[in-house]
């Protein structure tokens, strides 16, 4: 089972004034999808802190998933932090998440979520709402295992691979 980490980006969850529902919901969806969640952490909506958490989690996990901070509010800076630490962006993944989200709510179009790579780690931004996060993750889970295989240097096509996460 590939290791994964979940970062909840929320001032109120970090400060303890709100219970984190999204992080555990995403962790369960990852576990159900065949990942071993090795870390869950909450951080404030602060770009430098998010960048540090992304780098730290990427050192221990093949997949790092964030939840929260992807909208257009002034403190929503998760995409900026992600862009700053990633070596390459993968535009099609968040496009697919927004398409799936729009089937539930037009507000999914306001998401600025990103997906990118840091070494052999895939970083994926999800919305902050539990439902939006799971919808987005479910939409792209079939791509993630293949992306992780490619990051390791294996160039098998999905139909040639028997590995499924």
Domain spanning 3-160 has what CATH number?
3.40.980.10
C-beta atoms surrounding 153 within 10 Å = 7
Give how far the C-alpha of residue 146 lies from the chain's centroid of Cα atoms, to the nearest Å.
16
Helix (H) or strand (E) holding 139: helix 130-151
Q: Kindly state the average pLDDT of the residues 37-51.
A: 98
> What is the pTM (predicted TM-score) of this model?
0.92
Q: Kindly state the average pLDDT of the residues 117-133.
A: 97
DSSP annotation of 43 reads: E
Give how far the C-alpha of residue 71 lies from the chain's centroid of Cα atoms, to the nearest Å.
14
Place of tokens 């590939």: 2
* Spatial CB neighbours of 62, under 8 Å, sequence gap ≥ 6: 2, 3, 4, 120, 121, 122, 148, 151
Q: Kindly state the average pLDDT of the residues 73-82.
A: 97
Phi, psi of 157 (to 5 degrees): -80, 150
Q: Kindly state the average pLDDT of the residues 118-146.
A: 96
């Amino acid at each position: 089972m590939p290791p994964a980490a979940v970062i909840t980006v929320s001032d109120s969850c970090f400060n303890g004034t709100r219970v984190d529902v999204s992080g555990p919901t995403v962790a369960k969806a990852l576990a159900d999808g065949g990942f071993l969640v090795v870390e869950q952490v909450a951080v404030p909506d602060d770009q430098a802190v998010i960048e540090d958490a992304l780098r730290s989690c990427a050192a221990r996990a093949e997949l790092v998933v964030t939840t929260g901070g992807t909208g257009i509010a002034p403190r929503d800076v998760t995409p900026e932090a992600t862009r700053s630490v990633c070596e390459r962006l993968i535009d099609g993944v968040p496009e697919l998440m927004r398409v799936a989200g729009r089937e539930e709510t037009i507000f999914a179009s306001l998401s600025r979520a990103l997906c990118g790579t840091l070494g052999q780690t895939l970083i994926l931004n999800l919305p902050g709402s539990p439902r939006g996060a799971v919808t987005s993750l479910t939409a792209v889970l079939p791509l993630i295992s293949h992306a992780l295989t490619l990051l390791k240097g294996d160039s098998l096509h999905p139909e040639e691979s028997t590995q499924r996460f």
